[in-house]
Amino acid sequence: MIPGRLFVISAPSGTGKTTILKRVMGRLAGLAFSVSHTTRIPRAGERDGVEYHFVNQAEFGMMRDNGLFLEWAEVHDNYYGTSRRTIVEQLERGRDVILDIDVQGAAIIRKSSGLAASHIFISPPSLAELEKRLRGRETETEESIQIRLKNARFEMQSAKDYEYVIINDALDEAVRLLAAIILAERAKAHRLPSGRPIELFENS
């Protein structure tokens, strides 16, 4: 079986990445979403095991110390980590895996994971537009907004390290671009748009 492809996707907070990913996953078959572990408190509407595996500091530390994470990082005073076993099992079953992580985690995977991956950065049109979107949430304190904008400036400097960059200026276009990247990578690996292998001339 041809293994699946890992798609590492990063974006500053407030860029619209979650909305883009949900639409692409609803459009394309054969995609699995990697559910990360985090120590942050769930936001309204988030469910354990769906958006994240919500764990406390002690549980996260135990997993980290036992080498269970493919990567882990501290972001906005919270910890996030990706289960290595979950990723590898999905890839071995031929499923493409969407991994939504920050630039720190993406750098770790790029340098030391041993896994082939496509790295995609989703950027806001500008920092001014990002600030507008963050304020539009009406869930952030002024301090939180300033921290996220400061981090966004740093994260956007890392865009040059990614194979693909998508500017989320128009949501529908950003969704089409991400779907096109996934389909192109499948074709490169001799797989159909569904993700299944292409078996040419099997009986010739």
Q: What is the pTM of this model?
A: 0.86
Residue 203 reports pLDDT greater than 70: no
Give the pLDDT of residue 204: 47
What span, in angstroms and rounded, lies between the C-alpha atoms of 78 and 148?
13
- Over range 94-100, report the average pLDDT: 94
Tens digits of per-residue pLDDT, 113-146?
788 899 999 999 999 999 998 888 877 788 888 9
Of 1 and 28, the structure prediction assigns the larger pLDDT to: 28
Dump pLDDT digits (tens) for 7-59. Answer: 999 999 889 999 999 999 999 999 999 999 999 999 888 999 988 999 999 99
* 64 pLDDT tier (thresholds 50, 70, 90): very high
SS3 27: helix
DSSP 8-state symbol, 77: T
- The per-residue pLDDT for 155 is 94
CA geometry: angle 131, 106, 175, nearest 5 deg: 55
Evaluate if residue 84 carries a pLDDT over 80: yes
Query: What gap in Å lies between CA 12 and CA 15, rounded to an integer?
Result: 6
What region does 55 belong to: left with phi over 0, alpha with psi -120 to 50, or beta? Answer: beta
CATH number, span 6-188: 3.40.50.300
Largest CA distance in the chain: 67
The structural domains of the chain, with segments of one domain joined by +, span: 6-188
* Predicted pLDDT of residue 2: 84
